[in-house]
Chain A
Amino acid sequence: MAPSTDLDIVNVTKRFGSHAAVDDVTFSVAPGEFFSILGPSGCGKTTLMRMIAGFEHPTSGDIRIRGRSMIGVPANKRPVNMVFQSLALFPMMSVGENVAYGLSCRGVPREDAQERAERMLERVGLKGFGERRVMALSGGQRQRVAIARCLVLEPTLVLLDEPLGALDLKLREHMKIELKQLQGTFNTTFVYITHDQSEALVMSDRIAVMNQGKFEQVGSPRELYHNPATPFVASFVGETNRWPGEIVSSSDGTVALQLPSGMVTQGSGRVSQKAAIAFVRPEAIALAPSQPALRDLPNRFEGRVSAVLFDGANSSLLIDTLGFDQPVRAVLPQAGPLAGIEVGAPIHVGWTADAMKVFAA
């Protein structure tokens, strides 16, 4: 029976001394999936990836690739290839030799390896670059060589360790799309590690959010963004407003939360304890010049614009709102009557109970 998963991580734990870098993590990746592990630096994601590649060994648990346990299998015998953070191209070899390296390690005859390397370079858009020195390539071209070097071996799994970190913003945006397209054309399973939530959201089919060695939530980018399971996911993935408070009443998934100022707000969530924390996305906050426009919303407040943070499509407003000790962040409308709003202007804000996610603090 062919296994329906390419990668299974089963209760994997890695301890360095008494510190658990990876703490009882379990997940599976389906064939052809683009799976990201997203987490802040030091959360254990690199350790997890190095265990899959075979450079570290789990203290306990099992790593299976296409159903075959990888425990005791050295890195050079695993059907897994890695794109390193530094790319780790071989500077002593030409571009073509870099790509053919893995093939010649497998005993493919030199001419055959060279030809296959040439074809792979063509597929990643580097036709005729075979003779060049690695050092003579641009950042984006090196990136493609690093990926071609893995894909030419037709691995079950390609691991990518924040390969876009070293690129400048413009190129990074471009490479995000290119990587996703490459993954689509080759239909290879990618496991991608990053601390950049935008990279993970744009490229992934599924994302695992990792924190302090554990998975907080695994789900599609939309799921994570709209229905975060934990306060960490809510604050780590995407921009959000974050307010601590106390639960005053709770029934069937809706809660009333009292802010330190005494103001009571309506939110959603199942919290059994008193101390709680609420999250609202900036784009979920409705803005209006007058109160009546927001009368259907359970949470309505009035405030004054304290800052306009202009950043093109990502522009936002900070609004000093009565009852909130920190300004409320909302998306700056790009059209309509509020498009030209200035600092100091009075404004009404509001949001639905659904948009406010409440978690136990």
Chain B
Amino acid sequence: MMTKQASRLTFFLLVAPAILWLGLLIVLPHVEILVLSFSERVAPRVYAFGFGNYLEFFTEPLYWRTFARTAFMSILVTALTLVLAFPIALYIARVAQGRVKAMLLLLCLLPFWVSELVRTLGWMMLLRETGVISYVLRAVGLADQPVELLYNDGAVILGLVYGGLLFMIVPLANALESLDQSVVEAGFDLGGSRWTVLRRIVIPHAMPGIVAGSIIVFMLTVGNFATPVLLGGKNGLWFTEQIYAQFITRFNWPQGAAFGMLLLLLSSAIVWLGLRLTGQSLGTTLKQA
């Protein structure tokens, strides 16, 4: 009897930090945000329950257009990251051996030893009008005046893909590594071309890794703030900027809370859709990640 109680106590003590973490930092603020998002200001310092904040989102084109743009760009960034990361992961998982493999993974990890802000500032130094690329282009004679590469969608996508690459490569490499070499050889042996083997054997096998990596990269991208703001400038128009503006600049917390809930809904919906379309379950995907 005593031992049973003791083991239960141990269990609670072990899970307590996790429960506190989830409860205090994730569940509680979200409940608060949810409640807040349904409160409308009817008079100075007087708030009442209502859907006004959500209606505002649909009636003001800037809001929902930024929202749609964020969703679309995030999907695009995720797809681009996947396309870029796949060959790298394939190389790391199936070609590189021993030290080279560890080295390559370390190289992918290296940029993350620097803070995101500093990394993004690094991109700004390369891309700005007086930056390195602009200078080189002029020096080689490909441009006759300074070239501004910052503050456009391309720069935002570049920065976001760069930031997401590692989070795509690791689950992909994991998934690809577990593919038995003889299965690939059997694919060739039975007459498959490289493309057939890739399409019918390698990609289906890597599917849990693809989905896991895509979910992580998509979530990181949708919720990113620094990269679109710094590399996109005024043209960044990321939905997180709207949330920031409501909370900090305009001090309209209920509106910001509604936007936050909408963003949460958006990422959940797209992740759910992605899982449905690829026929993967959240369980196998989480195992892979």
Contacts and interface: CB of A to CB of B under 8 A. Distances in A.
Contact of A92 (B186, B189, B191, B204): B204
Contacts of B192: 76, 101-102, 105
Interface stretch (B177-185, B253-261, B262-270): B177-185
* Chain A: number of interface residues, binned into ranges: 20 to 34
A115 B192 CA distance: 20
Contact of B190 (A54, A55, A102): A102
Contacts of B201: 90, 92
Interface in B166-190: 180, 182-183, 185-190
Contact of A82 (B180, B189, B196): B189
Given A90-B201, A92-B201, A101-B200, A84 B182 contact: yes
Contacts of B190: 76, 81, 101-102, 105, 149-150, 153
A258 interface: no
A86 interface: yes
B200 A55 contact: no
Given A101-B200, A105-B196, A88 B191 contact: no
Given A88-B180, A90-B201, A92-B201, A76 B186 contact: no
A12 interface: no
A106 interface: yes
A156 to B, nearest CB: 13
Interface in A223-282: none
Contacts of A101: 187, 190, 192, 200
A121 to B, nearest CB: 16
Contacts of B10: none
B186 A82 contact: yes
B191 A53 contact: no
B188 A75 contact: yes
Interface residues of B, number: 17
Contacts of B185: 53, 55, 75, 82, 84, 88
Kindly name the residue among A53, A54, A101 whose own CB sees the greatest number of chain B CB atoms within 10 A. Answer: A101
A276 B193 CA distance: 55
B182 to A, nearest CB: 4
A74 B193 CA distance: 10
A85 interface: yes
Interface string A32-69: 00000000000000000000011100000000000000
Given A76-B193, A101-B200, A90 B188 contact: no
Contacts, number: 65
B205 interface: yes
Contacts of B187: 90, 101
A88 B186 contact: yes
B80 to A, nearest CB: 25
B188 to A, nearest CB: 5
A98 to B, nearest CB: 9
B182 A153 contact: no
A76 B185 CA distance: 9
B51 to A, nearest CB: 46
Contacts of A88: 180, 182-183, 185-186
B206 to A, nearest CB: 10
B189 A105 contact: no
Nearest to A159: B189
A102 B201 CA distance: 13
Contacts of B182: 84-86, 88
A91 B206 CA distance: 12
A123 to B, nearest CB: 18
Contact of A90 (B183, B191, B193): B183
A93 B187 CA distance: 12
Contacts of A149: 190
Contacts of B204: 92
Contacts of B188: 55, 74-76
Given A90-B201, A92-B204, A92-B205, A102 B183 contact: no
B191 A106 contact: yes
B198 to A, nearest CB: 13
A74 B182 CA distance: 16
Contacts of A86: 180, 182
Interface in A278-333: none
Given A92-B201, A105-B196, A76 B180 contact: no
A81 B193 contact: no
Nearest to A107: B191
Contact of B186 (A90, A106, A153): A90
B205 A75 contact: no
A86 B190 CA distance: 16
A150 B189 CA distance: 9
A166 to B, nearest CB: 12
B129 to A, nearest CB: 50
A91 B202 CA distance: 11
Contact of A105 (B183, B191, B205): B191
Interface of A: 53-55, 74-77, 80-82, 84-86, 88-93, 101-102, 105-106, 149-150, 153
Nearest first, the 8 closest Cβ-Cβ pairs linking A and B are A102-B190, A88-B186, A92-B204, A105-B191, A88-B182, A84-B182, A88-B183, A76-B188
10 contacts: A55-B185, A55-B189, A76-B193, A82-B186, A82-B189, A85-B182, A88-B183, A89-B186, A92-B200, A149-B190
Given A75-B188, A88-B182, A89-B186, 17 more contacts: A54-B189, A55-B188, A76-B189, A76-B193, A82-B189, A84-B185, A85-B182, A88-B183, A88-B185, A88-B186, A90-B201, A91-B205, A93-B200, A101-B190, A102-B190, A105-B191, A153-B191
